[in-house]
């Protein structure tokens, strides 16, 4: 049931979108098609990601005030109430970033599985929509240099490095406070793992499977880095000026 829902609403539409791109732009090799298609999907998801990043930035800005509450109130329930009051006074919804994440997760997984199990250069015509034509030939040589169906240590390294910088930008490691408690320790641990462990995992996954997966991860990470910098540089300052 879950698999059928996932395929119908996420995997199949995205797979058809990639095949349509290859058909409309036959001069694209599969590697370039992955780059273009990943960027197009990320652009569609940008409004959701933008909202998520804004919330994270605002919460980061009031972190000193949150730490003051942690230091001042020892009772966990009272601390939680005061923290929520702070969020309300600062006009921050701490849960605003959850919905965009939940919506994006199946899309990200669908893209990943497309490049994982697609079987290119073969096309699965059974799941193609009536208006999508399978291209006569799929060029597997990325920029005429690398076969995307094979392993590539260079692209795997790029995937790992780009993941490190993306995690460093999106999940800064917070300073540990004396009364931070288990929740703060968990958050710090997750930030550290995202920055140092996850890039290594991405490298091994990208190298073990194929260059296609490495291209997808690298493109996705670079887009997310640019997206984060754009929101911080242009969107958040404007919002602050409007609130003054």
pLDDT at 36 over 90: yes
Q: What's the length of the chain?
A: 244
The per-residue pLDDT for 2 is 61
The per-residue pLDDT for 182 is 45
Q: What is the mean pLDDT of the chain?
A: 80
Percent of the chain with pLDDT over 90: 16
For the stretch 64-91, pLDDT in tens is 888 888 888 888 888 888 888 888 888 8
Reading the block at residue 99, the tokens are: 């919905």
Show me where the domains of the chain are located.
2-243
The per-residue pLDDT for 243 is 44
Mean pLDDT to the nearest integer, 4-16: 88
**Highest-confidence segment of 103-107, 164-168, 187-191:** 164-168
For the stretch 102-153, pLDDT in tens is 777 788 788 888 877 767 788 888 889 999 998 888 898 998 888 888 889 9
pTM over 0.85: no
The per-residue pLDDT for 236 is 58
3-state secondary structure the chain: CHHHHHHHHHHHHHHHHHHHHHHHCCCCCHHHHHHHHHHHHHHHHHHHHHHHHHHHHHHHHCHHHHHHHHHHCCCHHHHHHHHHHHHHHCCCCCCCCHHHHHHHHHHHHHHHHHHHHCCCCCCCHHHCCCCCCCCCCCCCEECCCEECCCCCHHHHHHHHHHHHHHHHHHCCCCCCCCCCHHHHHHHHHHHHHHHHHHHHHHHHHHHHHCHHHHHHHHHHHHHHHHHHHHHHHHHHHHHHHHHC
């Amino acid at each position: 049931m879950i698999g059928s829902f996932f395929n119908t609403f996420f995997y199949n539409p995205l797979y058809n979108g990639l095949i349509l791109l290859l058909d409309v732009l036959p001069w694209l090799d599969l590697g370039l098609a992955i780059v273009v298609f990943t960027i197009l999907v990320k652009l569609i998801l940008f409004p959701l990601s933008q909202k998520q990043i804004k919330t994270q930035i605002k919460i980061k800005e009031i972190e000193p005030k949150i730490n003051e509450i942690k230091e001042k109130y020892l009772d966990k329930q009272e601390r939680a109430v005061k923290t929520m009051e702070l969020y309300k006074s600062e006009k921050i919804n701490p849960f605003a970033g959850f919905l965009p994440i939940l919506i994006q997760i199946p899309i990200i997984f669908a893209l990943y599985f497309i490049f994982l199990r697609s079987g290119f250069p073969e096309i699965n015509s059974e799941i193609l929509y009536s208006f999508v034509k399978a291209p006569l030939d799929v060029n597997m040589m990325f920029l005429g240099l690398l076969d995307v169906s094979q392993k590539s240590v260079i692209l795997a390294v790029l995937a790992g490095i780009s993941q490190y910088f993306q995690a460093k930008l999106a999940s800064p490691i917070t300073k540990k406070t004396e009364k931070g408690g288990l929740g703060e320790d968990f958050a710090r641990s997750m930030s550290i793992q995202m920055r140092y462990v996850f890039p290594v995992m991405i490298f091994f996954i990208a190298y073990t499977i194929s260059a296609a997966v490495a291209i997808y991860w690298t493109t996705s990470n670079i887009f997310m880095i640019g997206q984060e910098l754009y929101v911080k540089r242009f969107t958040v300052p404007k919002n602050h000026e409007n609130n003054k």
